[in-house]
Chains A and B, each alone.
Chain A
Amino acid sequence: MKKILIANRGEIACRIIRSCRALGLKTVAVYSEADANAKHVDEADEAIAIGPAAAKESYLVADKVLAAANEAGADAVHPGYGFLAENEGFARAVAEAGMIWIGPRPETIADMGDKERARLLAHGAGVPIVPGSPRFMVNDNAGLEAAGDEVGFPLLVKATAGGGGIGMKRVDAAEDLLATVETTQNMAEKAFGDGAVYLEKLIDQPRHIEIQVFGFGDGGAVHFFERECSIQRRFQKIIEESPAPGLKREIRDAMATAALALTKQERYRGAGTIEFILAPDGQFFFLEMNTRIQVEHPVTEMTTGEDLVGLQLRLARGEEVSKLQQDSIASHGHAIECRIYAENPAKNFLPSPGPLDVYSPPSQGGGIRVDTGVRQGDQVTYFYDPMIAKLITHGVERDVAIEKMLAALDDFRIEGIVTNIPFLKRVLTHPAYLGGRTHTGFVDEHKDDLFKE
């Protein structure tokens, strides 16, 4: 394995290039017409155009990415996150073309991509799951009323093919259930080509805590502790940290044990994340497993000192990373990540594309890390995700990491587009955040403080 095609763009493509370079691997970037001059294209050893700006005509077209890999003579494909990262068909096609897929087996991707099947597998591994219903298909909602009563209200209607908050609706009362189920089914059928939904009990004021795992593909696996990702907007994370503030050691250990049980049961290969929701009473439940490197992986890299992308690459090229022992992995200090978005929080987080007239991130080192996919003068286009950078700080304690983050956000200068930086500062200085009183409804609960003029 000498040459890696990176089937992605933006900060994660740049991030993967960095680890490839450290391991002496050549890199091939792919790019759409909108990204011809993008940072990831400059930084890769080679770059191949794969079509128009719209992702569904370029980054999401498996055949085009595969053709680029063949053309470049790549030995392996790293998908990053998003786009084709959790596309079972693409993973299979890469392997069938004789290349190494840097990710879990296609069957694992399929199993975990189907949220209901994933729940059953988790349950089989002894991982607690949130009370839920069987699936309901479009125009076949017989038994829905009884299922709703059994799960109990409030509940969530979730598309089995969904994820990342897409295809998810809250229902507070039985009389609204059918209408919401039908709307969600229609939406899911249009968006994912699969209209099936299921019901899940809604846990009030839950925290979102996830365990970073790494499987060796032979039933062996280690974990790299937890990340708390409760600060979200529109079901998407904006601030992540590790350790989770105030989390009792026995709960953390129980979560890690459960996560490892599922990882080992699936003979999981590579980096993965098992997401849990933690109820205020200390009970935790399986949410989903993400079969890829996660956006917030740098938090874990800062606390454990491990290069997780490097580990993926080393496993893929046949190094004996399975020698890695759990007791050699330790977490030090506290790390926080802020996602820098091109969006306007005051207008319901309306995306804000435009020119980066000024783009000057804080300098790195001394516990400050910036993962970025853009440069001054670039255009932030409306075709892709609004996240333009990640800022990560590390300190001996949470207070120190927060102080560093606030200073680094002050140093982060961006002009030409609206960003969420002022909003992030309001969250980080809010008494409830400082007190570790986080839950996934945090932004909504404190909206009067966070959105004031």
Chain B
Amino acid sequence: MAEQVMTQAPGNVWKVLVKEGDSVAAGDTLFILEVMKTEVPHEAESAGTVTKLHIAEEDAVDVGQLALEIG
């Protein structure tokens, strides 16, 4: 089951904790945005492999932007 992980708020990418090819479990933190001085962690909803990463640390992102894909 493929999963597309979208950004929840506009901000800066603070940390990307996975790379393409990594296996992840449901609930794993994938990346953390910094929004208004607040850390906003984004977690995997399903287990799988990170097939595509669309963001990098320090990127400015908008809300609802495709950040990464899990296959």
Q: Which residues of A contact B (CB under 8 A)?
A: 54, 190, 234, 342-343, 347, 349-353, 382-386
Q: Which residues of B contact A (CB under 8 A)?
A: 8-12, 15, 35-38, 40
One of A190, A343, A382 near B10 (C-beta < 8 A): A382
Minimum CB–CB distance from A85 to chain B (whole Å) comes to 14
One of B8, B12, B15, B36 near A353 (C-beta < 8 A): B36
Minimum CB–CB distance from B31 to chain A (whole Å) comes to 14
Contacts of A54 in B (CB 8 A): 12
CA distance A121 to B9 in the complex (A): 42
One of A352, A383, A384 near B9 (C-beta < 8 A): A352
Question: Do B10 and A386 touch across chains, with their CB atoms under 8 A apart?
Answer: no
CA distance A386 to B37 in the complex (A): 8
Question: Do B8 and A384 touch across chains, with their CB atoms under 8 A apart?
Answer: no
Contacts of B37 in A (CB 8 A): 384-386
Minimum CB–CB distance from B3 to chain A (whole Å) comes to 19
Minimum CB–CB distance from A154 to chain B (whole Å) comes to 22
Contacts of A350 in B (CB 8 A): 8-9, 35, 40
- Chain B, Cβ-Cβ closest to A383: B36
CA distance A384 to B34 in the complex (A): 10
Minimum CB–CB distance from A252 to chain B (whole Å) comes to 32
- Chain A, Cβ-Cβ closest to B61: A382
CA distance A234 to B15 in the complex (A): 20
Contacts of B12 in A (CB 8 A): 54, 382
Q: Lowest 4 CB-CB distances: which A-B pairs, in order?
A: A351-B36, A386-B36, A351-B35, A382-B11
Contacts of A342 in B (CB 8 A): 36
Question: Do A382 and B8 touch across chains, with their CB atoms under 8 A apart?
Answer: no
CA distance A401 to B65 in the complex (A): 44
Contacts of B9 in A (CB 8 A): 350-353, 382
Contacts of B38 in A (CB 8 A): 234, 349, 351, 386
Contacts of A385 in B (CB 8 A): 36-37
Contacts of B36 in A (CB 8 A): 342-343, 351, 353, 382-386
24 cross-chain CB contacts under 8 A: A54-B12, A190-B15, A234-B38, A343-B36, A347-B8, A349-B38, A350-B8, A350-B9, A350-B40, A351-B11, A351-B35, A353-B9, A353-B10, A382-B9, A382-B10, A382-B11, A382-B12, A382-B35, A382-B36, A383-B36, A385-B36, A385-B37, A386-B36, A386-B38
Contacts of A386 in B (CB 8 A): 36-38
Minimum CB–CB distance from A181 to chain B (whole Å) comes to 18
Contacts of B11 in A (CB 8 A): 351, 382
Known: A347-B8, A351-B11. 7 other contacts (CB 8 A): A234-B38, A349-B38, A351-B36, A353-B35, A382-B11, A382-B12, A385-B36
- Chain A, Cβ-Cβ closest to B35: A351
Contacts of B35 in A (CB 8 A): 350-351, 353, 382
